[in-house]
Structure formats: structure tokens, C-alpha cells
Amino acid sequence: MGRIPIRGTPPLPLPRRIGVATASLLVVASMVGTGVFTTGGFLVRDIGSPLAVLACWVVGGCAALCGALAYGELCAALPENGGEYALLRRIYHPSVGFVAGFVSLVGGFSAPIAAAAIACQRYLGAALGRDVSVAWPVALVLGLSLLHTWRVSAGSRFQNLVTAAKISLVLLVAGMGLALGVPDRIRAAGPVPTGTAILSGSFAVGLVYVSYAFSGWNAVAYVAGEVRAPRRGVPTALVVGTALVTLLYLLVNAAFLAAAPAADLAGVVEVGHVAARAILGDGAARVLSGVIALGLVSTIGALVMTGPRVYEAMGHDHPRLALLGRRGSEGGPGMAIWIQAAVAIGLLLTTSFDTLLAWVGVVLSLATALTAAGVLVLRRREPGLFRPVRAPIWAPLVYIALTAWMIAHVAWERPAVLAAGGVTIALGLLLWFSVRVKPSRTLRTTEP
């Protein structure tokens, strides 16, 4: 007696409509947004020293670049949609990839969409000088989901346009802050000496917020199956986009620290508004806040575009989730997009902003560190795998070490955040056991 395993219908090859420029801008759009315009206030509050705050951004940028180099090798060798889901199922086990996919749905995309929408609402309120109804961020998430469901090409053009505008905005903010602010504020002594602050647990926990701001450096990994010339284009987009954003982050945070006294920035969400008001006055600050709110639309659009490619890949692999793999001839994976929108809106309506930031930073760092370690695993297990590009061996090691240091301090200082990450992973495992097709489900055939 022989056995024929039951398998899902393999997906048709996706058309490669995304160029290298769009892929690089997708990285920028995914990264620049909520984090850079909101986390600076939390860092000033927790770390204290302005120079140590900038050092935190430098360390975060170095970590992201190391991660981008590691992902560049993996995605060039295995260019398909799905990000950590697709890579981890190949490197370790399908269950590991599935849990990473579930983490992507909840913590990787839906929660950042919710955080970006909340930040957009806050900045729009600062621009208008009054509270803005929660209906605004809800409508924004729904509208962008509709656009990316309708047509991939239209979504790509929209992302290019708004991301280019966002880069111009960040450069404008940085230029004004550095030109009109007080540079001595950056060098001013904080309540804790700079060296002591850098070695403190607060600095390591601050990296959680910074890692959230840098989340998105791996955005191209989720759409690698739709990038033209992926074996060169994907690594190029990962590294170029991440390096550009690291430079932008340093400039804009230095501008914030120079523009306003540290006491005025500490613990504030709409830190850009406070900095602009200090150097330009209330009227100009309102205008700038409105522009920042528009720039955050790009961040939400990038997340809406990339996240559903993970769930689409899961739908192709798991018959019980097949609805997630459906898409129109010109559009994105509609059911996956709308499930993500529903989860994001639920988080938007029920969860506080700073809780979202800390939780997302932890769960994403765990998934990306495990993926970066895959470079070492595959080099040992599959030395003959074709690798168009090779990362320096120190890149995944540095990324893993920095992530482990950060998470160890989070476990000590904020165990509830780590516990929430553990619950998310446990829920992913439970879902895996409920949707997987057991090997015993086979058809039998009589051998001749």
C-alpha cells in the first residue's frame, strides 16, 4: 500500500510588479512614522541624558542594519512572500513559522497600524487645537485597506508619493530644529551622567521603544515574491532603506532635543508638536502637526500593504485558512487585508498607546532575532544553497546579542510586557494545532 499526502493547491506565481525604488521606499515608509514622532518623549523621560538618548538611536540603527544584512542573505536565497513566516518554516519547523505569522498579524502589523492611527489622531488634534473623534483613525484604516484590496499598482503609486513627501517632511523638521534650536541642549547634563545612563537598564528598555521605531526595516521580506529581480533588489532595498532611515532618525531626534527643553519633551506622545511650538510658535506648530498627521498615513499604508502577504502565504499552506490566500487579478489579498483591519481597529479602540509600543517591540524583536539566527543555521545545514549575497558573519551575531540584552532587561524591569509577548506566542501555538493537517490524513492507493 502506498500513501498520497493531501496537499493544498500550490499558488500561481505572483506577478513581479514592485521595483527596487518602490521596495526601498516601502522600507522607509514602514519605518518612518509613529516611532520617530512619538517615542522620543518616552526616551527622554526614562533615560534622562540627551546624549544617551541619541546613543540609543545609534545602537538601534546599528542593530537594524545588522538585521537587514542578515535578512538580505536569506531573502536573496529564498525570495518569496511571507517574511518571517516563510523563512522560519523553512529554517526550523512549520510550527515556528506559523507562530511567527500569527505574531505578525497581531503584533507585527495590526498593533503598529493601531499605534500609527492613534498617533495620527493625536497630531491631527494638535493641529486643529481640539480632540479628534476616534472615527477618524478607524475611517483611515478602512480606506487604506480598501485601496490595497482594489489594486496593487494603485497602492504602490500611492506609497511612492506619500513616502517621498514624508522624507521631505522629516528633512524639513530636522533642518528647522537644528537651525533654530539650541544645540547646547543636546550636550546638557541630564539627571543621570551619560555613561551611567548608557549602561543602565533604562537604556536597554529604551531600546524597546527604539526597536519599535525601527520596525519595518524588514518590510521588503514580506513582498519579496513580488519584487522584480529579487536576488539583488531585495537585499539592496533592505540595506539602503534602513541606512537612510537611520540617518533621518538621528537628524530629527537631534532636532527635537535642540528645539525644546528636555523637561517639556519628557513623556509626551506628540513630541514633534512640542518641539515645533518651542521654536516656531503655536500657529506654525499646528501646521507642522497637520503635515506629520498626513505623513503617518504613509506608515499605515505600508503596513496595510505588507502584512497581508504573510497571511496570504499561510492560507496557501493551510487548507483550513485557504480564504486568506485569495486575491483578485489586480488587487491584493482581500480577506487577509480585512482580517488585519478588524484586528487593528479592535486594538485601536481598546489598548493604550505606550502599551502597544512596548509589547510590539518585544514580540517583533524575538521573531526577527530568530530569523537572523537562520543565517547561521542554513549555512551549516545547507552549505550548497545558492546565495547571491552573503552577510558578514558578525551581522546576525550582533543583532542577536543586542536583542537578547534588551529582552533580558525588559524581563527584569517590565515583566508584564514580556508576559504579554509569551501569551501571544502561546495563542499562536494553539492556533497552529487547530489548523494543521495531521500527517495521518492521507489517501490510500493500491500499488500495482
What confidence tens digit (pLDDT) does each residue in 288-300 have?
A: 788 778 778 877 8
Q: Is residue 443 part of a domain?
A: no
Q: What is the DSSP string of 321-390?
A: GGGGG---SSS--HHHHHHHHHHHHHHHHHS-HHHHHHHHHHHHHHHHHHHHHHHHHHHHH-TTS--SS-
Q: Is 443 helix (H, G, I), strand (E, B) or coil?
A: strand
- CATH value at residue 89: 1.20.1740.10
Full domain range(s) for residue 294? 15-434
183-206 per-position pLDDT tens digit:
888 877 667 777 887 877 788 778
- Split at pLDDT 50, 70, 90, the class of 155 is low
Place of cell 555613561: 195
Count of domains for the chain: 1
Range 342-365 average pLDDT? 77
At 37-88, the pLDDT tens digits run 778 888 888 887 888 889 999 999 999 999 999 998 998 888 887 788 889 9
Q: How many other CB atoms sit within 10 Å of the CB of residue 443?
A: 9
Q: Is this structure's pTM higher than 0.85?
A: no
Q: What pLDDT is recorded for position 92?
A: 92
Q: Supply the mean pLDDT for the chain.
A: 80
Asked if residue 158 has pLDDT above 50, the reply is yes
350 falls within a domain? yes
Comparing 222 with 392, the larger pLDDT belongs to: 392
In a domain, 358, yes or no: yes
Examine residue 206 and state whether it is found in any structural domain, yes or no: yes
Answer yes or no: is 9 within a domain. Answer: no
Amino acid type, 105: L
Closest CA to 36 of 139, 126, 171, 137: 171
Give the residue among 27, 22, 21, 17 at the shortest CA–CA distance from 219.
27
Confidence of residue 107 (pLDDT cuts 50, 70, 90): confident
For the chain, the maximum distance between any two Cα atoms, rounded to a whole number of angstroms, is 86
- Of 349 and 353, which is predicted with more confidence? 349
For residues 317-332, give the mean pLDDT: 75
- Cell numbers 521580506 label which residue? 221
Q: Does 157 map to a domain? A: yes
3-state DSSP of 372-418: HHHHHHHHHHCCCCCCCCCCCCHHHHHHHHHHHHHHHHHHHHCHHHH
Residue 82 to residue 222: CA distance in whole angstroms: 5
Q: Cell numbers 498593533 correspond to what residue?
A: 111
Domain membership of residue 291 (yes or no) is yes
Angle of the 394-413 helix axis to the 201-214 helix axis, nearest 10: 120
The partner residues of 18 in beta bridges, in order of sequence, read 227
In a domain, 38, yes or no: yes
Strand partners, 318: none
